[in-house]
Amino acid sequence: MSFLYETLLAPFADFEFMRRALAACVALAVGAGPVGVFLVLRRMSLMGDAIGHAVLPGVAVGFMVSGLSLGAMTLGGVAAGLIVALLAGVTARATGMKEDASLAGFYLTSLAIGVLLVSARGSSIDLLNILFGSILAVDDQGLFLVAGVATVSTLTMSFIFRSLVVECFDPVFARSVGAGGAWVHAIFLALVVLNLVSAFQALGTLMAVGLMMLPALAARFWSEDISQIVFISTGFAIMSSVMGLLLSFHVEWASGPSIVLVASMFYGASIIFGSRSGLLARWMRRPHFHEPEDASR
Amino acid sequence: MKCTADIRLTDVIVTYRRVPAVHHVTGKFQAGTLTALAGPNGAGKSTLLKALMGLVPVSDGTIDRGGLSARAFAYLPQLPEIDRSFPLSVEQTVLFGAWPRTGALSKLSSAERSRAKDAIASVGLTGYAGAAIASLSIGQWHRVMFARLIMQDAAVILLDEPFAAVDERTTDDLMALVKVWHAEGRTVIAVLHDLNFIRRHFPETLLIAREVVAWGATAAALEASRLDQARTMTDRWARNSDQGSHGHQHNHDHSHPH
């Protein structure tokens, strides 16, 4: 019993930085979980990664203007992310180019500018901090930022949920009934950017992509219902955060990658054991249906 | 919902990359008529439907929807455009048909739910409400799309090859629904290829080969001479656009860039 306490609870009970880290991670998980699900459903799984790289020059400019100020770097990151997403979207619509191709063009440019800025002014340590963060050093400001973004993100998602589903599922139908459209897409992209930037102090934007996408990918193996998938994904993300933090505390691994690797384990386990389309479920066929009524189960 | 408005097209031109897909189409779909839209591949049938829906811009001419908005039209596109692996159930998919009444935010009333249940029953999918759409056969999927159309309760219904790749039984069931819509006074326009099927079920036909070849009672519109004409006109367009430009076989009384 005391072993369990020492392993699972004591780190949080005894150390304030662990409690802060936990709060930040849970907030990130709640914000990013649903967003990740829709990135997967839109077949834009790699978009989070691209945006994660695209924010770099903005963060760098924020850093150059006012040093290690969370506010300035966040603002810069959000601006850079939104500009890249917007340019990519507008270019795709105006030229008929595929959106992922157009995004690749812009985010690579943005990344190069970012690396140039960082290497011109700072040391490589700064770059590592920006890309990978350090959750064990989250301050009050960072905590409020993460919690604020999670709140805004969750509320916004609940408002655009139905529009987003219909827009992803059947864009032609959505247009024909006047649902969704460019503004839903734009708001959604803004949420992707916000969630990734808010994570940069805690996990770093790149690791935040892992917390956003891996639980969403894992959740897809467990359900055929979109609302359930959103909840499963958020649950996986929260569990990954808690377990990852404990792992990082006990084994003394870096916290960001520890959290993401736990999420990877959920992903791996889901590939094998997922009840909807996991490998085992496919191999061990259940008896097939005989009456049409069964199919509705 | 009975349709009381005629749809009038005046000199409608729709172009893709400056090549006209629909060329100088003039005429009207009378309120409450059941019209087949026929013609060879590449004749502009789908494009004309999209123009009626306001999904592609009209480069010249006007479409008068008789005071109705394009939003009041229901539209079933050709099937491959939808992602069927999407995690939705039959009921959830059909409920989207209530969008014109519920919009993005309002709660789905129990009245809408029971309408969806009725719609699912009337396409013969009772018992499948909770089934994942990914698990359906093509025929069942067509039925789901028809149930969603029923939910939309639109005055004008546009169908793009609604019976493609569907077996006879499903086609019969779905065609029966189309006839119900017609009897209810809705305007129905369907893109179809099977001329015998059109002759059997559709009172009116618009035969198109970018331009109108014939528009009116089906028997007259699908005469052999008209069909030949449609075929040669499409060939001519194909040849001309292969050469990078197309000659006009008629005199324009106005000019428009191609």
Q: Determine contact, residues A293/A174, Cβ cutoff 8 Å.
A: no
Burial of A224 (0-12, 13-18, 19+ CB in 10 A): buried
What are the C-alpha distances in Å from B163 to residues B48, B136, B155, B176?
Answer: 18, 16, 21, 12
- Span B48-77, mean pLDDT? 88
Q: Determine contact, residues B189/B37, Cβ cutoff 8 Å.
A: yes
Give me the pLDDT at residue B67, please: 81
What are the C-alpha distances in Å from A97 to residues A91, B6, B45, B82?
Answer: 7, 38, 25, 20
> Which residue from B minimizes the CA distance to A170?
B82
Angle between helices A205-219 and A47-54 (to 10 degrees): 170
Three-state DSSP class for residue A203: coil
Tokens linked to A91? 């270019």
B84 pLDDT higher than 90: no
Per-residue pLDDT tens over the stretch A122-134: 665 566 666 677 7
Is B132's CB within 8 Å of A226's CB? no
Among candidates B77, B86, B100 on the partner chain, residue whose Cβ is nearest the Cβ of A41: B86
Q: Determine contact, residues B103/B45, Cβ cutoff 8 Å.
A: no
- Span B13-25, mean pLDDT? 83
> Which residue from B minimizes the CA distance to A173?
B75
Per-residue pLDDT tens over the stretch A83-106: 999 999 889 888 888 888 999 999
- Rounded percentage of chain A residues whose pLDDT exceeds 70: 90
Determine which of A57-61, B111-115, B148-152 has the lowest per-residue pLDDT on average. A57-61
Give me the pLDDT at residue B251, please: 46
CA distance B162 to B156: 15
Three-state DSSP class for residue B15: strand
CA distance B85 to A164: 16
Distance from CA of B226 to the nearest CA of A (A): 33
CA distance A86 to A96: 15
Distance from CA of B198 to the nearest CA of A (A): 26
Residue A172 CB contacts under 8 Å (≥ 6 apart), including other chains: B55, B75, B77, B81, B82
What are the C-alpha distances in Å from B115 to residues A96, B109, B174?
Answer: 39, 10, 18
Give Rg (Cα) of chain A: 20
- What pLDDT band is residue A163 in, cutting at 50, 70 and 90? very high
B43 pLDDT higher than 50: yes
Three-state DSSP class for residue A285: coil
Angle between helices A16-41 and A182-198 (to 10 degrees): 150
Give me the pLDDT at residue B16, please: 81
Name beta bridge partners: B62. Answer: B10
Q: Determine contact, residues B85/B231, Cβ cutoff 8 Å.
A: no
Determine which of B48-62, B132-146, B219-233 has the lowest per-residue pLDDT on average. B219-233
What predicted TM-score, i.e. pTM, was given to this entire model? 0.84
Tokens linked to A281? 């479920």
Among candidates B75, B93, B104 on the partner chain, residue whose Cβ is nearest the Cβ of A176: B75
DSSP structural state of residue B249: S
Give Rg (Cα) of chain B: 19
Distance from CA of B73 to the nearest CA of A (A): 8
Give me the pLDDT at residue B198, please: 94
Q: Determine contact, residues A215/A261, Cβ cutoff 8 Å.
A: no
Which positions in chain B touch A41 (Cβ < 8 Å)? 86-87
A2 pLDDT higher than 60: yes
Among candidates A159, A169, A295 on the partner chain, residue whose Cβ is nearest the Cβ of B83: A169
Per-residue pLDDT tens over the stretch A215-271: 999 999 999 899 999 999 999 999 999 999 999 999 988 888 899 999 999 999 999
Query: Is the ipTM, as predicted for this complex, more than 0.90?
Result: no
